[in-house]
Structure 1
Amino acid sequence: MHDHAPVTGIRSAGHRRLLAISLSLTCVIMVVQVVGAILSGSLALLADAAHMFTDASALVIALIASAVAARPADDRRTFGYQRAEVFGALINAIILILLSAWVAFEGVSRLLHPGEVQVAGTLMLIVAAVGLVANGVSMWLLSAAQRTSINVRGAYLEVMGDLIGSAMVIVAAIVIIMTGWVPADAIASLIIAAMIIPRAISLLREVFSVLAESAPKGTAVSEIRQHLLEYPGVTGVHDVHVWQLTRGAPVFTAHVSVRQQVLAEGGASLLLAQMQTCLEQHFDVEHSTFQLEQDATGTGDAGDCGAAHA
C-alpha cells in the first residue's frame, strides 16, 4: 500500500507562519550582508545580499499568494484561487534568472579588471558565516511545506541558493585571507550564478507543466486505469484526464463503462464511492469525478481495488 501524508500546501496557516518567520530572517541577514559587502568590497557578498533581497520579495509574493489561495471557491472560480500559488512561483523563477544574469555580468567584469577592487577577507568571512547559519534555519523551517506547495518550493529553492552562495563566499574569503588572491571573490560570484540558474529552470518547468495541465509527475495513468478495471462490473475506462491545480492538488476525471446489472441493482453509488476512495488512498488524488456508462456487452469480473493493494 501507499503511504499518505496530509496534503495542505501553502493554504495552511502553519505554512504561512513559517514563511513569515523565514521572511524576517531573510530581511535581517540581507541588511547585514549589504553593510558587510559595502565595508569589505566583496562582490560575492553583495551578490548574496542581492539574492537575499530577491528571497525577501519571493517570500512576500508567497505570503500574498497564500492569502489569495485560501479564499473559498465561488460560482466563477469553482476550484477557488489555488492557481495563485503557480503564478507566484512563476514570478519567483523569473526573478531568479534575472538575478543570475546580473551576478554573472558583474563577476566577469571583475575578472577582466582584477586590480580595481580590494576585498577585506576577514569581514567577508564573518558576514558570510552569519548568512550561512540563517539560511540553514530558513531551509529547515520550509523543508516540510515545500513538498506540498509549488510556491513554498519556489521560496525554498531561493533560500537553498542563498545557503550555497554563502558557502561559496566563505570559501572565497578563506582563499583571500590565506593567499591574498582577490579574483576568488569574482569566481565565487560566477559559481553562485551557475548554481541558481538550474534551479530556476526546474521551477519554471514545473510551473509550465501545471499551466499546461500535464499529468502530475509520478502519476501513472495506466496504473490507475488498471486499478479501476479490477472492480466487479467495470468493463472499460476511457476519456481519462489527470492534471493538477497546483502542487499537491491533483484532479482526475474519467468515463467508466459498467455492466447493466450493476446499474439495475442500484450499485452505482457504492461503485463510485469505492473508486473515489481508491484514488484518494492509493494515488493521493482527493478530487475525482467519474461518469458511469452502461455497457451490456462487458464480460468478466475481477477483484476489487482493495484486494489489488493487499
Structure 2
Amino acid sequence: MHQHSPTTGSTRTRLLIAAAITFGVLLAQLVGAVLSHSLALAADTGHVAIDSVGLLLAAFTATLMTRPSTDALTYGYARLEAIAGGIQAGMIIIICAVIGYEGIAHLITPIPVDGTQMAAWAVAGLLGNLLSMLVMAGRHRDNLNIRAAFLEVTVDAISSVGVIAGGIVTRLTGINRFDAVISLLIAAAMLPRGYKLLKDAGEILLDRAPKELNVAEIRQHILRVDHVTGLHDLHVWPLNSHTVLLSAHIIIAKQCYKDGHALEVLHQVETCMKTHFPRKIEHCTFQIEPEGHAAHELLKH
C-alpha cells in the first residue's frame, strides 16, 4: 500500500506549538487594539486570528494525512492539504476586504490613536511571530497546507514591523491617518498571498498538470520509445503538492506480445517518467494494448 503523505508526528507537534504561541499573540494584540484604538493593530490582530485558525487546521489536516489509505479512500486523505489551503486562502481574502473597507473609512474620518501602545503591543506580536517561525522552521516545505501556515506567520511578522513603525510615527507626529495607511498596506501585503494560495489549491483540486511538466513533451517521450506505435488517454495530475500521478494507454504491435517487447516497453516508459523531467513522475499507471484495441473502448477521455 502506497504512502502519499510526507507528514510526520514532529510536524504536527510543531504546528500545535506554533498555534498555541499565535493564540497568545492574538489575545495580547486584541487587548492592545482595544486600548490603543488602532485599526492597524486590529488588522494585524485579524491576521493573527487567521494564523491561529490556519495552524490548527494545518495540524488537524496533518493528523488525518498520516492515516493509511482504505478500500473506500484509496489515496487516503492526501487531498486535504489542498482543501485546507483553499479554506485559509478564502479567510485571507475576506479579512483583506474588511480591512480595506475600514482603512478607507478611517482615512476619510480618522480617529485618535495611542501610538505608544500601538507600537508596544505590536512588539509583543512580533516576538511571538518570530518564535512561531522558529518552531516551524525545517518543516514549512512539507506540503501546501504547512507552507501556507508558515507564510501566514511570516507575513504577520512583517505586518507587526509595519504596525510598530506606524505607532512610532503616529506618536511623534500626532497624525492619526498613518494608522489607516498601515492597515491598508497590511491588507495589500496579504491579498496577493491569499490569491496565490487559492490558485495553488485550485490547481490541485482541478487536477491541473503541474507547471514543471509539459504534457506534450511527455507524450513525445513515450512515442519515441522503441516498439510504441501510438498513445491515447494520457493524463497527468497532482494528488497533492508532492505526488504526481500519470496514466496512459500505450499502443504496441501485436507481435510484441509474442517476442517479449511488451514488458520491455513498460520498463522503458516507467524509467523515462522518473528520469527525464524536472519533476519525477513516480506513480504511473500504463495500459499496454495492441493496435486496434482502442476501437473497443466506449469512454473517450
TM-score (norm 1): 0.83
**Contact 1:131–1:163 (8 Å) recurs in 2:** yes
Identity %: 37
Structure 1 residues 106 and 247, CA gap change in structure 2 (3 angstroms): same
Matched, 1:103 2:92: no
Describe the superposition over 1:1-39 as per-residue Cα deviations: whole angstroms up to 9, x where unpaired.
xxxxxx975633332233223212211222221222233
Matched, 1:201 2:215: no
After superposition, where does 1:1-310 map in structure 2 within 5 Å?
11-114=7-110, 116-119=111-114, 121-139=115-133, 141-142=135-136, 145-281=139-275, 282=277, 283-295=279-291
1:11 aligns to what SS in structure 2? Answer: coil
Provide the C-alpha distance between the structure 2 equivalents of 1:49 and 1:68, rounded to a whole number of angstroms. 29
**Contact 2:228–2:265 (8 Å) recurs in 1:** no
Describe the superposition over 1:44-67 as per-residue Cα deviations: whole angstroms up to 9, x where unpaired.
112111211111011111111122
Provide the C-alpha distance between the structure 2 equivalents of 1:225 and 1:110, rounded to a whole number of angstroms. 57
- How far residue 233 of structure 1 moved from its aligned partner, in angstroms, is 2.4
- How far residue 212 of structure 1 moved from its aligned partner, in angstroms, is 1.5
**Contact 1:36–1:123 (8 Å) recurs in 2:** yes
Deviating more after overlay: 237-246 vs 256-265: 256-265
**Contact 2:5–2:78 (8 Å) recurs in 1:** no
Describe the superposition over 1:168-196 as per-residue Cα deviations: whole angstroms up to 9, x where unpaired.
21221221132121211111111111221
Deviating more after overlay: 95-104 vs 256-265: 256-265
- How far residue 130 of structure 1 moved from its aligned partner, in angstroms, is 3.4
**Contact 1:8–1:148 (8 Å) recurs in 2:** no
Provide the C-alpha distance between the structure 1 equivalents of 2:137 and 2:93, rounded to a whole number of angstroms. 22
Runs (5+) with no aligned partner, structure 1: 1-6, 297-310
Amino acid at match of 2:116: T
- How far residue 241 of structure 1 moved from its aligned partner, in angstroms, is 0.3
**Contact 1:37–1:45 (8 Å) recurs in 2:** yes
Provide the C-alpha distance between the structure 2 equivalents of 1:285 and 1:134, rounded to a whole number of angstroms. 40
Amino acid at match of 1:27: F
Structure 1 residues 27 and 50, CA gap change in structure 2 (3 angstroms): same
Runs (5+) with no aligned partner, structure 2: 293-301
**Contact 1:86–1:151 (8 Å) recurs in 2:** yes
Structure 1 residues 276 and 264, CA gap change in structure 2 (3 angstroms): same
Paired residues, number? 288
Provide the C-alpha distance between the structure 2 equivalents of 1:286 and 1:28, rounded to a whole number of angstroms. 43
Deviating more after overlay: 68-77 vs 258-267: 258-267
Provide the C-alpha distance between the structure 1 equivalents of 2:261 and 2:117, rounded to a whole number of angstroms. 74
Deviating more after overlay: 84-93 vs 218-227: 218-227
Describe the superposition over 1:204-261 as per-residue Cα deviations: whole angstroms up to 9, x where unpaired.
1122212221111221112222333343323333321011122112111111223445
Provide the C-alpha distance between the structure 2 equivalents of 1:238 and 1:198, rounded to a whole number of angstroms. 38
- How far residue 137 of structure 1 moved from its aligned partner, in angstroms, is 4.3
**Contact 1:237–1:256 (8 Å) recurs in 2:** yes
1:92 aligns to what SS in structure 2? Answer: helix
Amino acid at match of 2:270: Q
TM-score (norm 2): 0.85
Structure 1 residues 139 and 230, CA gap change in structure 2 (3 angstroms): farther
**Contact 1:236–1:257 (8 Å) recurs in 2:** yes
Deviating more after overlay: 67-76 vs 138-147: 138-147
**Contact 1:22–1:141 (8 Å) recurs in 2:** yes
